[in-house]
């Protein structure tokens, strides 16, 4: 297991645009989107923790949101409060995520273990494929108190080092938000 890297998988969203629970959508192999993400995290040697729901009858750790209704920032804070050493933040709605991309991310984050790693594709921040350290916890708490819930703004803080996602892994970051998105994949 990659030392110290917890993969916090956000699975507490309302899935309003999808119209059904995205985490439970089935892929062609019969696994759910959430199961797929957990499997890829484990193959990358990371420990998965599902944030935003409680998994009954599962060996996978899960934690309900401390701050329900606060989106990914609330999920991140839930994870960092429990794992202040750092977490890799992922969504449960990334059907193409794979262990190789996660391995690259963990290796890149190891370059500076004191700071988080904010990833980008071109000029587009990738908050659900970034590593957050305890060094950003106070800033994230302040943003929550101010109701500034976007993770993209948080990634511009000095507690992050920035890296471009290699072309080979960019497609892995596609997420699904609507039934049409899911059908295309």
Token pair of 22 as six digits: 């995205």
Predicted local confidence at residue 15, as pLDDT: 66
Q: At a CB cut-off of 8 Å and minimum separation 6, what does 97 contact?
A: 36, 37, 40, 90, 129, 172, 173
Average pLDDT, the chain: 91
The closest alpha carbon to 52, from 76, 33, 32, belongs to 76
Best-predicted range by mean pLDDT (3-7, 21-25, 51-55, 115-119): 115-119
Average pLDDT over residues 3-7: 73
Cβ count near 113 (within 10 Å): 13
Tokens of 184: 């295309």
178 pLDDT higher than 80: no
Each residue's pLDDT tens digit, 85-111: 999 999 999 999 999 999 999 999 999
CB of 116 within 8 A of CB of 127? no
Confidence of residue 182 (pLDDT cuts 50, 70, 90): confident
Q: Which two tokens stand for residue 112?
A: 């500076």
Percent of the chain clearing pLDDT 90 (strictly above):
76
The dotted CATH code for 6-184 is 3.90.550.10
Give the pLDDT score at 1: 39
Q: What is the pLDDT of residues 114-153, one digit of tens each?
A: 999 999 999 999 999 999 999 999 999 999 999 999 999 9
């Amino acid at each position: 297991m990659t030392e110290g890297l917890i993969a916090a998988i956000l699975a507490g969203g309302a899935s309003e645009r999808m119209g059904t629970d995205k985490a439970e959508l089935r892929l062609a192999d019969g696994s759910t989107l959430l199961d797929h993400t957990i499997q890829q995290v484990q193959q990358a040697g990371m420990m998965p923790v599902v944030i935003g729901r409680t998994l009954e009858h599962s060996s996978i750790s899960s934690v309900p949101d401390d701050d329900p209704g606060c989106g990914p920032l609330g999920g991140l804070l839930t994870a960092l409060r429990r794992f202040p050493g750092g977490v890799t933040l992922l969504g449960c709605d990334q059907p193409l995520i794979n262990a190789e991309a996660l391995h690259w991310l963990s290796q890149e984050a190891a370059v500076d273990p004191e700071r988080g790693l904010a990833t980008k594709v071109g000029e587009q921040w990738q908050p659900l494929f970034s590593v957050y350290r305890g060094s950003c916890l106070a800033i994230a708490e302040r943003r929550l108190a101010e109701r500034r819930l976007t993770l993209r703004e948080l990634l511009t803080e000095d507690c992050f080092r920035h890296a471009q996602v290699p072309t080979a892994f960019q497609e892995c970051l596609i997420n699904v938000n609507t039934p049409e998105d899911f059908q295309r994949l």
